[in-house]
Structure 1
Amino acid sequence: MILPELVFATNNKHKTEEIGKLLVNQYKVLNLKDIGCDVDIPETGNSFAENAELKSSYVTENFKLDCFADDSGLEIDALDNEPGIYSARYSGVRDDLENLNLVLKKMEGKANRKAHFKTVISLNQNNKNYLFEGVIYGHITQTPIGDEGFGYDPIFMPIGYDRTFAQMSMTEKNEISHRAIAMKKLIAFLKEQV
């Protein structure tokens, strides 16, 4: 069975693996490396939606392929929704540990630890653009807990759970994460297109 191909505009192998598992037996998910795109696509938008659209449009315009891209981040109430669109480079560099430590430092002494992860997916298909959003609410822990996942997973505990994302298996996280919520919307849409 030949699966239809969709490009996911990312070089992040963790994201590609997560999405690939969500789309198993439906689409063959290719990433930027797979299509020979070695450009670091600028994320100069002012929102997750704008950044996702910039990435999906770049691939569609330059490689003539249907593409989806996401922009995700952590928004913390007590930090005026920071790190937000700067989540991947909050400390000034793309270093998960430095970014996480900066958040914990800024959260010292703050009673309100409410936060949420948000993902916006931009799909360019058949010369049209579609947006899908996913949000999961939770709080920031006092210290990192767990060894799974990436990014801020060790300090984010979703509502209704007594474990951080980093204490969950990829399968378990994929069932409840912000990315999974947005992806389910994308998948439902793609099934309607068949």
Structure 2
Amino acid sequence: MLFLEPDMTRFAASLPLEEAPGTKFNYSSGTANILSELFMDSFNSREEALAYPRLALFGPLGMHSTILETDASGVFVGSSYMYATAREWARLGAFLADDGKLYGRPVLPADYISFMRKPSPESQGRYGSAQVWLQLGGVKAGEDGIPEDAFWMSGHDGQSVMVVPSMHLAVVRLGLTPSRTGYNVQLLNAKIIEALRRER
């Protein structure tokens, strides 16, 4: 889908259901892209939708080189095609760690971060309601030194942004690890948290 389909949303929406909705969890990039089209359709024009991320989020956060690409149909590829420097990803992570506030001013709706972190029941607590992974996945909540409120965004080649609101912390990893063999991002994050706690 990500490399061969000109209209990723249409492709994802055309696939048959494997299970009844609400009965089984399976991560799908297609879901994020369907949500991207719904987001873009909520604007009066496609031009307005294309401009909105930079006006509402990237610009105010100082993410000036960030690019959110579209597919050939003109819809944001929300699952995968956002490119930013490590510092810009860290700005986004810090913004989320600060409950969606910018210089103390709320930018996101009240309780949106809580909504993001609300587990999808079918995921056994591993996946949040807004396309983020929760701490329970891989390393049990609160164990190995990672706080229970941690959540993260995960890229398909091993990139990640971990957000820990209780520590006002964002950890960015942009390394290329497609196979993930011998690599566990939670263990890396746990070591970073351990080092930070020793310094405090």
| TM-score, with structure 1 as normaliser | 0.25
Larger radius of gyration: 2
| TM-score, with structure 2 as normaliser | 0.25
